[in-house]
Amino acid sequence: MCGIVGYTGSEQAKDILIGGLKRLEYRGYDSAGVALEQAGGDGIDVFRRVGKVSGLESELAHLDHTSTCGIGHTRWATHGRPSVANAHPHSSCDGRISIVHNGIIENFAELREELEARGHHFASDTDTEVFAHLIEEAYESGNGKPGTHDLLAAVREACTHVIGAYGLAAICADEPGVIAVARKDSPIIIGKGETGSYVASDVIAVIDATRDVVVLEDGQFARLTPEGISYTDADGNAIEPAVTHIDWDIDMAEKGGYPDFMLKEIFEQPRVVRDTLVGRLSGAGELDIDELGLTYEELDLIDRVYVIACGTSFHAGLIAKNLIESWARIPCEVEAASEFRYRNPIITPTTLVVAVSQSGETADTLAAIRDARIKGAKVFGITNVVGSPVARESDGVIYTKANKEIAVASTKSFIGQVVSLTLLALLLAQVKGKLNTRQVKLLFRELGDTAEQIQWILDTQQEAIHEAALACKDAHSALFVGRGMGAAISNEGALKLKEISYLHAEAYAAGEMKHGPIALIDPGFPVIAVTTKSPVYDKVVSNLKECEARGAKIIVVATEGDEDIKQIADHVICIPEVRDAFTPITATVPLQLLAREVALMRGCDVDQPRNLAKSVTVE
Ligand code: AGP
């Protein structure tokens, strides 16, 4: 995830900025840069590098730059590939204003067109750069208005044109020592240290300098100088935001105050849904997948889909199969990449292979991609890592926007994968004429609603999940069951539980129980079932009755308001009512939290389970 740091004070800014950027490295990035004011308001020097902050540090180490005011950034590519030109800071045409930005500007294409028509020259492919030019216009005069000649006022004016999310810091050669800051839907922290004022996107970047910070709220603006900080609302009225004292240590700060990365990443999931969907649907109802790499004509010819992946990514594929077959009516098979690559699957030029990989470098998935391409398939990648081998070796790609996932157990990347695969299923259905624009728009809106539904689960179900975990923690084994989408989700629930709590768990299609697994059930045996309202609800309930009769401890993930299920279940975890197609996005969240609770109760390290690595890059 992109990172921002800024400093104005009495010390050398370059050292403080590099130190702050290094602290932000754990979040993941592909390039880094700083902008430093020259002495006496002469101008701004910008230094940018693709790759590690240490590369930028070496470049700056040889430089005798005594600037005491600057801004820095680590970039995780969204619009435009990783490159020096796309790295932040970005500058105005005359180079006298530089900015760093986190977030996504949804209307950047329109803004860019308008700015170019008014004579602005763009030097990157990013959405961010429009901000630099908008601020320049507002500062100098332009677009029919007189200039503000006040950096913060110009930033406020620029923000009125932007639709989207931003955490923004700007400097201007004409206002030495001033940093102007804005925030909407992207975190910004501001603090005053002994030698100057600091801004960052994450408290970890400033924690050595100050522990008393202002967490800027949406629509608030700040002006930092070496002497102090002032705040305004969007109309320029002075405000006094509350100061928060941070008593976290560095380890906690990296985890955003959460006790472990797994919980932090589970709580990021509403954002992942939103970010993965930003800019994907035009007002006219056209789905926009920027790196599609395949023409609509090629997509229309697709008559068979294979989803290939491993582990959690494979489970995302199980969900995609349901969606692709029911919406686009294209036969879809899901295969473990480790099996696919050693078989002789039926592949023709009209076969689409969808490779799903969080890391984008899993050896089996990569080998399967290469094999599929040799056999003539079109390959589409779904990955979390920009420029990864899966992205490079596929014809097209959707990036999941989960940002760097640190816990070994995949959580937020799974949600990003399912949302991305849902987009792909919608696109195939649209291209094939199986769903009309009105239907696509409705489904897209409901897909976006899952962000709030996940938040509701996170806010309200922790206690119920804790109670359910107590019922599992001493078990020797557990069974996850469901039907339809519920069966697909059960696989992920069982994998999460076994990989982090070392408790044996299996997933079964509930209807298959009576063909063998029911023999396992004795009094107290945990059966975890997805019993959300769906066309197969009654069937799952009747399968659970068979388990109840044998004394199983029954834990259900059910639709809020379902009173009947309480008659059979020992523990009920609720999710909001949602269309069956989107159940995986919400119903998986309680299962992730349940696995984590059980693991903690059993004394396991939830971030770094034994025997496992984050990505498996060798055979
Ligand atoms: C699950 O929590 C694991 N992290 C694992 O199953 C993972 O999904 C699998 O190794 C595939 O990794 P990839 O998505 O990076 O290819």
Q: What is the mean pLDDT of residues 483-499?
A: 96
* Residue whose CB lies within 8 A of the most ligand 1 atoms, among 262, 265, 308, 313, for a mutation test: 313
Q: Is the pLDDT of residue 40 over 90?
A: no
**Could you give the CA distance from residue 302 to residue 378 in angstroms, rounded to a whole number?**
9
> What integer pLDDT is reported at residue 187 of this predicted model?
86
In the reported structure, the alpha carbon of residue 612 is separated from the centroid of ligand 1 by a whole-number distance in angstroms of 10
Q: Is the pLDDT of residue 506 over 60?
A: yes
Residue with tokens 């995609």: 320
Q: Which two tokens stand for residue 189?
A: 């922290």
Residue with tokens 């030019």: 133
Query: For ligand 1, what atom is nearest to the CA of residue 408?
Result: 4
Task: Report whether residue 405 contacts ligand 1, using a CB cutoff of 6 Å.
Answer: no
> What integer pLDDT is reported at residue 611 of this predicted model?
79
Q: Is the pLDDT of residue 372 over 70?
A: yes
599-617 pLDDT, tens digit each: 999 999 999 888 777 767 6
Q: What is the mean pLDDT of residues 279-291?
A: 83
Task: Report whether residue 608 contacts ligand 1, using a CB cutoff of 6 Å.
Answer: no
Q: What is the mean pLDDT of residues 118-138?
A: 94
What confidence category does residue 557 fall into, taking pLDDT thresholds of 50, 70 and 90? very high
Q: Which residue's C-alpha comes closest to atom 2 of ligand 1?
A: 409
Query: For ligand 1, what atom is nearest to the CA of residue 410?
Result: 2
Q: Is the pLDDT of residue 618 over 70?
A: no
User: Could you tell me the CA-to-CA distances from 354 to 221, 305, 316, 391, 573 in Å, in that order?
Assistant: 44, 7, 11, 11, 33
Q: Which residue's C-alpha comes closest to atom 8 of ligand 1?
A: 312
The yes-or-no answer on residue 2 being catalytic is: yes
Q: Is the pLDDT of residue 84 over 80?
A: yes
Task: Report whether residue 594 contacts ligand 1, using a CB cutoff of 6 Å.
Answer: no
Q: Which residue's C-alpha comes closest to atom 16 of ligand 1?
A: 357
In the reported structure, the alpha carbon of residue 367 is separated from the centroid of ligand 1 by a whole-number distance in angstroms of 16
In the reported structure, the alpha carbon of residue 411 is separated from the centroid of ligand 1 by a whole-number distance in angstroms of 10
Q: In what order do the strands lie in the sheet with 477-482?
A: 504-509, 477-482, 526-531, 553-559, 571-575
Q: Is the pLDDT of residue 619 over 60?
A: no
> What integer pLDDT is reported at residue 617 of this predicted model?
62
530-545 pLDDT, tens digit each: 999 999 999 999 999 9
Q: What is the mean pLDDT of residues 224-252?
A: 91
Q: Is the pLDDT of residue 13 over 80?
A: yes
150-206 pLDDT, tens digit each: 999 999 999 999 998 899 999 999 999 999 999 998 889 999 999 999 999 988 888
Q: Which residue's C-alpha comes closest to atom 9 of ligand 1?
A: 311
Q: At what angle do helices 412-431 and 269-277 cross, to 10 degrees?
A: 30
The pLDDT > 70 percentage for the chain reads 98
Question: What does the angle CA 381 – CA 382 – CA 388 come to, to the nearest 5 degrees?
Answer: 70
Q: What is the mean pLDDT of residues 495-523?
A: 92
What confidence category does residue 247 fall into, taking pLDDT thresholds of 50, 70 and 90? confident
Residues 444-447: contacts with CB under 8 Å, at least 24 apart: 444/277, 444/280, 444/281, 444/287, 446/578, 446/579, 446/582, 447/273, 447/277, 447/419, 447/422, 447/423, 447/582, 447/585
Higher pLDDT among residues 294 and 322, named by residue = 322
Q: Which of 52, 434, 539, 614 is catalytic?
A: 614
In the reported structure, the alpha carbon of residue 597 is separated from the centroid of ligand 1 by a whole-number distance in angstroms of 20
> What integer pLDDT is reported at residue 78 of this predicted model?
64
Query: For ligand 1, what atom is nearest to the CA of residue 359?
Result: 15
Task: Report whether residue 616 contacts ligand 1, using a CB cutoff of 6 Å.
Answer: yes
Mean pLDDT over each residue of the chain, to the nearest integer: 92
Q: Is the pLDDT of residue 1 over 80?
A: no
Contact 421, 320 (CB under 8 A): yes
pTM exceeds cut of 0.75: yes
Ranking 47-51, 244-248, 336-340 by mean pLDDT, the lowest is 244-248
Q: What is the mean pLDDT of residues 563-590?
A: 96
Q: Which residue's C-alpha comes closest to atom 10 of ligand 1?
A: 311
Beta bridge partners of 19: none
**Could you give the CA distance from residue 485 to residue 425 in angstroms, rounded to a whole number?**
15
Task: Report whether residue 607 contacts ligand 1, using a CB cutoff of 6 Å.
Answer: no
